[in-house]
């Protein structure tokens, strides 16, 4: 039986391969490298696809065509090209492709990140914005963020008193996890609530497997064979999350505490089965949205804080300048408050420069909803669109000394990260811009300011800053490959 299925899959591959070749024969596709039959350019992607695609774009241009398996892929690698896809033709490219990860982990694309463009996605985005991501909601969680930041500072201060190094990456991840869980599920994550693998590790695995090049996504005819074993892994991840969410739901339903402040899950459960939206909100809908909110707020903020502190340790003159600004605005007798952030202009430059070099999502995937002509090139319906934010942030035409960390480049510049300046789009742009951008920026600025204001940092064992490994781990979010270990020293007069 397996042999028969394999033969049929190969026959289907040959048929669809030649059919695709015939369809595109008379169309002017963007330039790009030739690929192998059936596999296309899949084997050239490597472990750092954003870097591979940047190198190819230097040869073939900012709008490049590849074939990954049987799927046409358009790679966008310059600010001008990004504006065409994310602004001029935004509606055409506002969708997401159907991926195996979104099928198994995201409850068949019922979340915000992977949902195709349409009325369902618009309704869910509106609901999440109103109930969790609006400025009012973000402000309502300010005291909670301060509590968690104070705990983080306390733990580091204890280590500073003992003159020991801290695993700053792990501490930041724990902070982000606690903040996300308290916002979304109303309490800190309890290890006993999740599988043996652990909640944070499973979220990280989800981010990696969701962005990995899965043969089943690009050669659908062989998905039943699960040649890479990814479907089996995704089913296991899905079960772990599903069991966790069922426990959380049950706790909320059974809660008798009438004075308890309602959290996001309470609100979503209140919508379940109602006709308040065009779509009935069911249990799986809530699970998909909650997973989105948790994973996005945890991993993105933690990775950005981690990268920013790493760059500051590597560039002590930038740290000194930022600490001077903090002393001028905050003083040395107290820690930073969120109300201080708007006065910290140089901090804003540091964060922008960090996001330029280490964008939240290095490779953003869209899908063409219909045939379209962009800059004279034919973009076929259902083509995958890869927006290479990593390459755009390192475009030598736009950014002199693009590989150097230099926050001063933003002095007198109006370039911002909010999707209007296509030279810097770490959160995307257009209809699919990250809805949690404001929350993420608030957390990142607050924690970075706190860590730099409260502590001086150096590397352990007389390690030089130039010896720091700056390798990233590719995923939907790209964190540091190695954890950041550093020695803190308390610097405030308290």
Asked whether the CA dihedral 6, 11, 15, 17 is positive or negative, the reply is positive
Give residue 33's domain range: 2-490
Domain count within the chain: 1
Q: Which two tokens stand for residue 348?
A: 């804003």
Q: Which of the 8 DSSP states describes residue 473? A: P
Alpha helices in 117-262, H assignment, sequence order: 119-128, 135-140, 142-161, 168-184, 199-211, 215-218, 230-254
**Tell me, what's the pLDDT at 276?**
59
449 and 347 Cβ atoms separated by less than 8 Å:
yes
pLDDT of residue 392: 98
Query: Which of 250-258's residues contact partners 24+ apart within 8 Å by CB, and which partners?
Result: 252/186
Question: Is there a contact between 195 and 246 (Cβ–Cβ < 8 Å)?
Answer: no
Contact criterion met (CB below 8 Å) for 436 and 133:
yes
**Pairing mode of beta strands 485-490, 166-167:** antiparallel
Query: If you search the block for the tokens 């803190």, which residue do you land on?
Result: 488
How confident is the chain (494 residues) per 10-residue block, as mean pLDDT? 44 50 70 96 95 98 97 98 98 97 94 94 91 91 96 98 97 95 86 78 89 93 92 94 92 78 82 69 90 89 97 98 98 97 98 97 97 98 98 97 98 96 97 95 98 98 94 93 97 92
Residues 6+ apart with CB under 8 A from 446: 145, 149, 336, 338, 341
C-beta separation of 309 from 484 below 8 A: yes
CA distance 139 to 132: 10
CATH of the domain at 285: 1.10.630.10
CA distance 93 to 483: 36
181 touches 203 (CB < 8 A): no
61 torsion bin: left (phi>0), alpha (psi -120 to 50), beta (else): left
Quick one: which of 179, 182, 197 has its CA closest to 241?
A: 197
The reported pTM is 0.92
The residues, ordered by sequence, that sit 6+ positions from 324 with a Cβ below 8 Å of its Cβ are none
What pLDDT, on a 0 to 100 scale, did the predictor assign at position 2? 44
3-state SS assignment for residue 64: strand
Determine the distance from the C-alpha atom of residue 52 to the mean position of all C-alpha atoms in its chain, rounded to a whole number. Answer: 19
Find the largest Cα–Cα distance for the chain: 75
Structure tokens belonging to residue 79: 């600010």
Residues 309 and 171 sit within 8 Å (Cβ to Cβ): no
- Residue 372 is assigned to a ligand binding site: no
313: number of Cβ within 10 Å: 18
Q: What pLDDT score was predicted for residue 4?
A: 42
Query: In whole angstroms, what is the distance from residue 106 CA to residue 285 CA?
Result: 9
Nearest-5° angle of CA 187, CA 209, CA 138? Answer: 35
E strand or H helix that includes residue 22: helix 2-24
List the structure tokens of 214: 């899965």
Look at residue 13 in the predicted model and tell me its pLDDT. 52
**Cα-based distances in Å from 171 to 112, 267, 451:** 28, 30, 12
Q: What pLDDT score does 101 carry?
A: 94
Alpha-carbon distance of 430 to 340, in angstroms, equals 30
Residue by residue, DSSP assigns 121-155 as: HHHHHHHHIIIIISHHHHHHTHHHHHHHHHHHHHH
Q: What is the pLDDT of residue 318?
A: 98
């Amino acid at each position: 039986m397996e042999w028969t299925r394999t033969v049929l899959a190969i026959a289907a591959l040959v048929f669809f391969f030649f059919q695709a070749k015939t369809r595109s024969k008379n169309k002017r596709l963007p330039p790009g490298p030739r690929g192998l039959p059936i596999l296309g350019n899949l084997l050239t992607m490597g472990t750092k696809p954003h870097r591979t695609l940047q190198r190819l774009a230097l040869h073939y241009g900012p709008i490049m065509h590849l074939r990954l398996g049987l799927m046409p892929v358009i790679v966008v690698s310059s600010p001008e090209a990004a504006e065409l896809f994310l602004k001029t033709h935004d509606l055409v490219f506002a969708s997401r492709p159907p991926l195996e990860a979104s099928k198994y982990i995201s409850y068949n694309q019922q979340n915000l990140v992977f949902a195709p463009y349409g009325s369902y996605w618009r309704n869910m985005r509106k609901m999440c914005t109103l109930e969790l991501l609006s400025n009012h909601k973000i402000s309502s969680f300010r005291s909670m963020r301060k509590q968690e930041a104070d705990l983080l500072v306390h733990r580091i201060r204890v280590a500073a008193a003992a003159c020991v190094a801290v695993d700053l990456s792990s501490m930041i991840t724990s902070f982000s996890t606690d903040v996300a869980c308290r916002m979304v599920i109303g309490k800190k994550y309890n290890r006993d609530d999740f599988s043996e693998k652990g909640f944070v590790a499973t979220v990280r695995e989800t981010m990696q497997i969701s962005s990995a090049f899965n043969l089943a996504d690009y050669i659908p005819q062989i998905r039943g064979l699960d040649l890479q074993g990814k479907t089996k892994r995704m089913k296991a991840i899905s079960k772990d999350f599903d069991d966790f969410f069922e426990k959380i739901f049950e706790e909320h339903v059974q809660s008798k505490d009438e004075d308890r402040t309602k959290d996001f899950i309470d609100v979503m459960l209140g919508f379940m089965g109602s006709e308040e939206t065009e779509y009935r909100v069911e249990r799986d809908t809530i699970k998909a949205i909650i997973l989105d909110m948790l994973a996005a707020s945890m991993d993105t903020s933690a990775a950005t804080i981690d990268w920013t502190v790493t760059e500051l340790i590597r560039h002590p003159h930038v740290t000194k300048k930022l600490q001077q600004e903090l002393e001028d605005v905050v003083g040395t007798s107290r820690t930073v408050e969120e109300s201080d952030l708007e006065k910290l202009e140089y901090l804003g430059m540091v964060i922008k420069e960090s996001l330029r070099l280490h964008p939240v999502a290095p490779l953003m995937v869209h899908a063409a909803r219909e045939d379209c002509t962009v800059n004279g090139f034919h973009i076929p319906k259902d083509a995958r669109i890869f927006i290479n934010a990593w390459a755009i942030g390192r475009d030598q035409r736009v950014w002199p000394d693009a590989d150097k960390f230099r926050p001063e480049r933003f002095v007198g510049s109006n370039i911002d990260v909010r999707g209007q300046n296509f030279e810097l789009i770490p959160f995307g742009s257009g209809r699919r811009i990250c809805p949690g951008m404001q929350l993420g920026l608030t957390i990142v600025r607050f924690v970075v300011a706190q860590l730099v204001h409260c502590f001086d940092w150096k590397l352990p064992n007389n390690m030089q800053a130039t010896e720091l490994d700056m390798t990233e781990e590719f995923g939907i979010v790209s964190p540091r490959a190695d954890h950041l270990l550093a020695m803190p020293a308390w610097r405030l007069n308290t």
